[in-house]
Every structure is written in C-alpha cells, then in structure tokens.
Amino acid sequence: MGTNHIKGDKIMTYEWDNKKPTAQMLGRWQPFHEGHYTLFKEIIKKTGQVCIQIRDVQGVDDNPFDFETVKKNIEEKLNPEFEGRFKIMMVPNITNICYGRGVGYKIEEIELSKEIQEISATKIRAKMRKDGKLK
C-alpha cells in the first residue's frame, strides 16, 4: 500500500520504486523520537522516498529495543502521512561509511533547529526507566 494523493479528481497512491533516487537514513533509533521525525521530513524532500536502515545494536551498550520494536515505532509515526514512501531494513552495526572517488551519491548533514538538535534518545531512555516503562 502507498500514500494516497489527490491529483485533479483522481486519488493517486505512491508506489515505491527501487530505481528512483532514494535518500538513506542510518541509525539506531533507540527510540525513534520527534527529532528523528523532523529529520525524516527534511530528508524525504530530497528524493520523495527514504530507505531507513536500523543498525543491529540491541544489547550493545544502552540499546534496549529490538529491530521489530524499532520498526513498529517508526511505522506508527510515519505511516499516517508517508505510507509507501519509506522502506525499513535491518543492517549490521555500521560505524563507518566510506567511499572511493565519484561514486554517484552525496553524504550530507541536515541542519535542524537547536531545539530539535537537542532532543536526546539517551535522555528519553532515562525518563522511560524513571517512569517504569523500560528496564
């Protein structure tokens, strides 16, 4: 299923296309929070579809959430508006992104507002523990 858009008098559904230019988001998303959501909304403007990669880090350091939990949290946040415009996949615990010469893609930082930049998953996990929602 994809996102419905009204074009003229027709309802258009967004269909994912692996051949279409696609932006990438790589992270732990422990948990996926408002800062991540704001970042996604900026990134999707680049290409119209985003591949969200979840690093396989459950149990490494302070990363309590498993892939299925993280995936569900992302889908619940994004599907109302962006259904069909993102794919989620698990990847190894990628810590370095390296490339050779002119490989056909950009690595770029998206600068968000100070208040969004200050949102911290570490602080969110601490509050969840304090509130008894996380061990």
C-alpha angle with apex 106: 102 to 109, nearest 5 degrees? 145
pLDDT tens, residue order, the chain (135 aa): 455 655 566 566 889 999 999 999 999 999 999 999 999 999 999 999 999 999 999 999 999 999 999 999 999 999 989 999 999 999 999 999 998 888 888 899 999 999 999 999 999 999 999 999 998
| pTM for the whole structure | 0.88
Domains of the chain, start order: 17-95+107-130 (3.40.50.620)
CA distance 31 to 37: 11
Phi-psi map region of 48: left, alpha, beta (phi>0 left; psi -120 to 50 alpha): left
